[in-house]
Every structure is written in structure tokens, then in C-alpha cells.
Amino acid sequence: MNFVIDIGNSNTVIGVFKNNILLKRWRIATERNLTKDDIASKIHSLITISSLNQKEISSIVIGSVVPTWNHCWERFSIDFLNLDPVFLKHTTISGIKIKTPNPSEVGADRIANAVAAANEYPGGTIVVDLGTAITLDIINPQKEYVGGAIMPGIMASIEALSFKTAKLPRFQLDKPEKAIGTTTLQSLQSGAFYGFIGMIDRLVEESLKELSFSPKIISTGGLAGALSAASKYIEEFNRDLTLKGLNIVANLNREK
């Protein structure tokens, strides 16, 4: 079994794959003050509840955008699972090429998304990942990562708005009944929902003008579901794209 970990700024998503089938998917908060023992306690409980055989885990791949938490996960992997983890970076065997001037700048989550997209959509892809930040990444038919864009994330923007303004409350991101809000809450929801869709669609639109191929436009990430359905360009929501990419990397590096 492959044990893959996507460490994000807000949440950490863990997947267990067997024969390329995602058996379990867990999401926990990214708490930077946890120790390796805290992590072990959480993971042991999840494995036990899920009736998985820990001894069947043969490979660990970690994609992290939180460097300060890497050591704890490394020690957890070595001390509790008896395996040396592979931390995904631009030099890791992944099946794709990163065709940017500074490949080391590309985050592990973006590399994992590109790996999975290149595998599932051979005609080329634009991946829109809606997490703490919104990223747009382009993979051409030659399985090359050619670049993309980074935007402020939805929840980060909502929290910043609430923090910086005295009278605007925090709110949940829900699709509003109409664009013109008649209350403060409706106005906030409309601005966030349609505003981010508009920003994403415009960026996709401008990116398409610069491409010589017709990409499949997909989305992933915790907040992608509802927004994807309202987008003019997003064709498919692929929830587990990042985990799938990490699993592919696990297979490639285990075989090596």
C-alpha cells in the first residue's frame, strides 16, 4: 500500500492506495505545533478505525508546502511506520518535466497535480486548485509543466475582509440566490462567490489565448465543488487529483 500525505497550509489530506485504488482519504487540520507523537496518535486511530493493516504500507510520499512541519512527518514515518518518506520536489522522479526557469519554486502540490493531470488527461490540462491559495497550472500534451498563476484563496480573502473591517462579519461561502444582495450577508456571499468565479474564468480565458493546444480544464481542492459548477470553463471536478499524483510518484520511486 502507498501512504501519501498532502500537507497544505490549512489542511493535511492523507490517502491510502492499494493497487492504485484509493482505499481511505482523511483530512486533518494542519497544526504546526504537533509533535511526531501527536501525529502518530492521530494516524494510529485513523488506521485502526479503518481496519487497515499498517504492515502492508510499503511506500510513503509527502507533498508539503509547510517546511516547518516536514521534520515531524519524517520522524513519524521512520519511527512509527519504519519507512523513509519521499518528499516530492522538482528533482523527484515523477514522469513529467518542469519547463520553467526556476523549477525549485514550483510547490509540491502543484507538481502532484501536474503528475496526475498528465496521466489522466493526455491531451493537456489546465488545473485550477482552490485551496488556501488558488493556483492555476498548465500541463501540455508532452507531459511538461509550463507554468501558471497564483491568486489569493477564497477563505484567506474572506478572513482578511472580516479582520480588516469593523462591521463586516465572517460568513460561509454558499451560492447566493441572486447576484444583487439585499442584506450584508447576501452581498458578501455574492461578491465572494461570483467574484472568484469571474477571476478564475478570466484567468483561464487569458491563458487559453497563449496556448497552442486545447486543454481539458479541471478543478480540484476543498472549495472547488460548488464554484466549478458555476464556471464557464471548468469541465470537471477531480477531488483527489493531488493524492493521485502523489500515488503515481510513490509507484515510480518504489520501482526505482
| Interval 40-52 mean pLDDT | 95
Q: What is the pLDDT of residue 5?
A: 98
Query: Which helix H or strand E contains 43, and what residues bound it?
Result: helix 36-49
**CATH class of the domain whose range is 97-111+122-244:** alpha beta
| Domain pair 2-87 / 97-111+122-244, same fold | yes
Which helix (DSSP H) or strand (DSSP E) does residue 228 occupy? Answer: helix 224-230
Judge whether residue 255 has pLDDT over 70: no
pLDDT at 256 over 80: no
Is the pLDDT at 206 greater than 80? The verdict is yes
- pLDDT at 109 exceeding the cut of 80: yes
Average of pLDDT values for 96-107? 97
This prediction has a pTM of 0.94
Domain locations along the chain: 2-87, 97-111+122-244
Q: Is 38 a catalytic residue?
A: no
Distance CA 180, CA 186 (A): 8
What pLDDT, on the 0 to 100 scale, is given for residue 166? 78
How far, in Å, are 90, 92, 142, 251 from residue 95 at the CA level? 11, 9, 11, 11
The count of other CB atoms within 10 Å of the CB of residue 28 is 14
Poorest-pLDDT segment among 26-30, 110-114, 117-121, 157-161? 157-161
Cell numbers that stand for 249 in this block: 510518484
Q: What is the mean pLDDT of the chain?
A: 94
Measured CA to CA in angstroms, residue 149 lies from 39, 90, 109, 118, 199 at distances of 32, 17, 14, 18, 12
pLDDT above 70: percentage of residues in the chain: 99
**Which of the following is catalytic: 109, 129, 201, 240?**
109
Sequence-distant (≥ 6) Cβ neighbours of residue 203 within 8 angstroms: 136, 149, 151
Superfamily of domain 2-87: ATPase, nucleotide binding domain (3.30.420.40)
**Residues 152-185: tens digit of each pLDDT:** 988 888 888 888 887 788 888 888 999 999 999 8
